[in-house]
Amino acid sequence: MKLTDISVALLISLLLFLFFPTLTDANDIDVSAKSAILIEQDSGRIIYEKDANTKSRIASITKIMTAIIAIESGKLNEKVKIHEHFTNIEGSSIYLEEGELITLEDLVYGLMLRSGNDAAIAIANYVGGSVDGFVYLMNEKAEELGMSNTMFANPHGLDDSEHHYSTAYDMAILTKYAMNNETFNKIFGAKNYKSYTFNEEEKVRYWKNKNKLLTGLYEYSTGGKTGYTKRAKRTLVSSAHKNNMTLIAVTLNAPNDWNDHIHMFEYAFQNYEKVKLINPGKYKQIKDRFYKNKLTIKHPVYYPLTLEEQEHLSSSLYLYKPPKEDEWAENGVPEPVGRINIMLDEEEIASVPLFFDGNPINNHNDGLLNKIKSLFFFVSKVDPYD
C-alpha cells in the first residue's frame, strides 16, 4: 500500500471516530431530541430512552398508524377514485387529481415515501368511510396496542388539533407491531417506487423516499418515516439491522435527528448482541421420571445483552405437579404445563411456556412429588444450547 493510501485510510478512520465515537454507556449518547427511545424489535427491550413517555406532537410519523390500518384492511389491490376534497390539503403532497383511479397500495406508498397528506385523506375516506371514521379506527388500534399516552385526531399529523399527540415510547410500540407485517416492512423499507393511475390516459409517478438514512446516510438502515410541522418540529422513526439484530429508534422534536438515530444505533450495535436463551424442541434439563423427555419448547427465545449481562442470567422452572394416575387423560392436559422464567439479575426478561408431549398417564409413585400441593420450583443457570 502506498504512503498516500495509508494517509487517506487513517484520515477516514479519524473522521469516523470523530463523528461516531465508540460509546460504552447509554448515558454517553448525545441526542438532540426532546424525546427519544431505542428498542430491539423482537424482544421490545428498551436500550436507550430520554423522556420517552412525554406527550408531544408527532407530525407525519402519524402515518405509520394510517399505513398499517390500510394494509390490514385487506383492500390494497382495490382502486380508489380521487375526489376533489381529497386534494385540498396543505403540506406534503403526491399531487392527486380529481377523478383519477389509483390503487390503495399506491396511496400507501405515496403516504410513506413522500408523506402525502392528500394520500392520507384519500386512504382515510376509502378505508374508514370518512376521516372521522378512520380516526376512530386509529384510536381503537392504539388502545389495542397499549399506546396509553396517544390520541389521534387526523390521519396525517398536521397541527390542526390540540388532541393529536403521542410519545416516543408509544410510537416505538406501534412501529414494532407494524414491522411484524411483511407488507408494511416492504413499504417501510422502499427507497423508491413507481405508481400508475388507471384512467384512459395512464399517469406514472416516480417517488423517492424522504428518509435519508435509508437512501444513503446509514448503511444499516432498513426503513423509516419522517415528519415535520411548525409546532412538532422534526420527528423521525427509523429501523436498522446488523448482526441478526433489528433496532427501532424514535425521536421527537430533534434538530439533529439523522445523527441522533445513527448514534443510538451504533451504541447498540457496538455493545449488544442478540443472544439465544432457549432453543426450541425437547427440554432435557428436567430429571423427574414423569416429565423426563416429555417437555417441549415451541419457539426459540432471543434477547439483546451486553457481554457483562450475559454473566448475570438465571432461570426458574415452574411445573404443575404430575397428575394422579389417569387424571390428565380424563380431564385434559394443561397448556402449558409450566414455564421457564429467565432473569437478568432481579428482572424477568422472558417467560417461556413448556408444553407436554407424551403419555399423560402417571404410572410412577414418587413420594416427594406426591407431597407437593401446587407447583414445584427449580433454579438453574440458563444454558442457551439446551
Residue 2 forms part of a structural domain: no
> pLDDT at position 284, please?
87
Q: Which of 35, 56, 92, 115 is catalytic?
A: 115
**For this structure, is 351 an active site residue?**
no
Angle CA 32–35–41, to nearest 5 = 105
Residue 184 forms part of a structural domain: yes
Of 217, 247, 271, the position where a domain reaches its end is 271
pLDDT tens profile 216-252:
999 999 999 999 999 999 999 999 999 999 999 999 9
Q: Which of 60, 92, 239, 315 is catalytic?
A: 60
Q: Percent helix, strand and coil across the chain, each rounded to 5?
A: 35, 25, 40
Nearest to 82 by CA among 66, 63, 93, 96: 96
Alpha-carbon distance values, 214 to 172, 189, 217, 329, 386 (Å) = 18, 7, 7, 56, 38
233 and 182 fall within a common domain: yes
42 and 191 fall within a common domain: yes
Q: d(Cα 254, Cα 250) in Å, to the nearest integer?
A: 10
> pLDDT at position 365, please?
59
For 191, the domain range is 25-271
**For this structure, is 115 an active site residue?**
yes
The domain spanning residue 91 has which CATH number? 3.40.710.10
Low-confidence ranges of the chain (pLDDT < 70): 1-27, 365-386
258 and 334 fall within a common domain: no
State which H helix or E strand residue 66 sits in.
Answer: helix 63-72
Nearest to 278 by CA among 204, 323, 198, 341: 341
Q: d(Cα 113, Cα 212) in Å, to the nearest integer?
A: 11
65 and 212 fall within a common domain: yes
Of 222, 245, 271, the position where a domain reaches its end is 271
Q: Which of 63, 141, 210, 225 is catalytic?
A: 63
> pLDDT at position 46, please?
98
> pLDDT at position 386, please?
43
